Amino acid sequence: MPEKSSVFYFEDILESIEKIRKYLGEASFDEFLESEMRIDAVVRNLEIIGEAASHIAPEVRVKYPEIEWK
């Protein structure tokens, strides 16, 4: 099976960012901390972002050294 293009990983990252924004909404930090479900949802999407970022092609990473890829 061919390896996914970095574009697909960037799409995963953007989708997870949008989900996090939706889950947080206008909640304060205290409201966030009071919701175990919200915490779990945000943490899971941060994991997805990290995993997707780890698959970004090295040649793409070199083009954007200002991004902390790890």
pLDDT, tens only, 39-56: 999 999 999 999 999 999
Residue 69 lies in a domain: no
pLDDT over 60 (residue 1):
no
Residue 40 lies in a domain: yes
Instruction: Tell me the residue range of the domain where 35 lies.
Output: 6-63
Q: What is the average pLDDT across 12-21?
A: 98
Whole-prediction pTM: 0.86
Q: How many domains does the chain have?
A: 1
DSSP-derived secondary structure for 44-55: HHHHHHHHHHHT
The pLDDT of residue 69 is: 83
Q: How far apart, in whole angstroms, are the C-alpha atoms of residue 40 and residue 15?
A: 17
pLDDT, tens only, 21-42: 999 999 999 999 999 999 999 9
